[in-house]
Amino acid sequence: MMWLEVFINIALKETAVYNPGFTLSMIMIPANLRILALDTSTARGSVSLLEGRDLAAELRLHSLETHSARLLRSIDFLLGSVGWELAGIGLVAAAIGPGSFTGIRIGVSTALGLAQVLSLPFAGISGLDAMASQMGLPDGRIGVVMDAQRSQVYYGEYRRSLHSLRRCGRPILCSPEELRKRLDPESLYLAGDGALRYKRELETSDAGWPRLVEADLFLSASVARLALTRSRWWRRSDYLQSEPLYIRPPDAKRAGKRVA
């Protein structure tokens, strides 16, 4: 089952939490910088166009099929919908994972190709970071739990203070039951499709801890906004590369190890 949602609103001004804790540079960025952002790392694929932090257009596709056949058409459709030219884009951003090995490759390679052909900077953003950056919560910890399939989850934990959101350690891959044993539930908010799917195993609560909170599971707009705060990470050269965040080794790599 799949469905298509198209959001076109040139005047739309969405609110999102600014997280200077992620900022690694004070490079001046035009307030109206036009951004193309892609996320094909999971079944919830999305493409967004933003002008600064303001969302101009977004296309969402929830499908178990590969996003490769639709991605370039989706970009072209969105550009035409708001009357933008590809040459007017100032930054290309993409979710680098974790998620589907094939999906990550599709999104990242497309973004890198466009950035290189158009001589634009590229920003690669973790989907875990992007989702955590949405959370406008009081002081405390945020745990992003993404469904990794095969009865496993990807988990990243973050600490929020008044003006920052910082990652606590490296993201992990484990079963929901193992994750629950690792968690310190006090003042911990959990978000993500994995938190929703495994709320019984994670023992989430509406009033106690850990507490389940809603998040937008389509991440391209959050990827773009977070990329704006990480200008020091932007890459621009004749031979652009990006290191995907797989966490789980690709199937072919695991199969090779078994054969060996």
**Which of 67-73's residues contact partners 24+ apart within 8 Å by CB, and which partners?**
67/40, 67/103, 67/106, 67/107, 68/40, 68/106, 70/45, 71/38, 71/40, 71/45, 71/47, 71/106, 71/107, 71/110, 72/110
Residue 119, burial from CB neighbour count under 10 angstroms (0-12, 13-18, 19+): exposed
**In the prediction, which pLDDT does 206 show?**
84
Q: Which two tokens stand for residue 227?
A: 């990329």
End-to-end CA distance of the chain: 38
User: DSSP alpha helices (H): ranges in 16-100?
Assistant: 68-82
* pLDDT, tens digit (0-9, with 9 covering 90-100), for 204-223: 988 899 999 999 999 999 99
> Residue 90: pLDDT above 80?
yes
Question: How much is the pLDDT for 31?
Answer: 87
Tell me which of 2 and 237 has the higher pLDDT: 237
Do 3-128+217-259 and 138-212 have matching folds?
yes
| Residue 15 β-bridge partners | none
Q: Any idea what DSSP says for residue 31?
A: T
Task: Quote the crossing angle between the two packed helices 68-82 and 101-117, to the nearest 10°.
Answer: 50
239 vs 191: which has the higher pLDDT: 191
Cβ pair 136, 17 in contact under 8 A: yes
Rounded CA separation 124/29 (Å): 17
pTM of the model: 0.84
- Write down the pLDDT at residue 236: 82
- The whole-angstrom separation of Cα 141 and Cα 161 is 9
Domain edges within the chain: 3-128+217-259, 138-212
Angle of CA points 42, 44, 47, to nearest 5°: 105
| CATH superfamily entry for domain 138-212 | ATPase, nucleotide binding domain (3.30.420.40)
**Between 58 and 72, where is the model more confident?**
58
What percentage of the chain has pLDDT greater than the value 90?
67
For residue 63, the SS3 value is coil
Query: Could you report the per-residue pLDDT of 155-193, keeping only the tens digit for each?
Result: 999 998 777 789 999 999 999 999 999 999 999 999 999
Q: Which CATH number fits domain 3-128+217-259: 1.10.286.10, 3.40.50.300, 3.10.180.10, 3.30.420.40?
A: 3.30.420.40
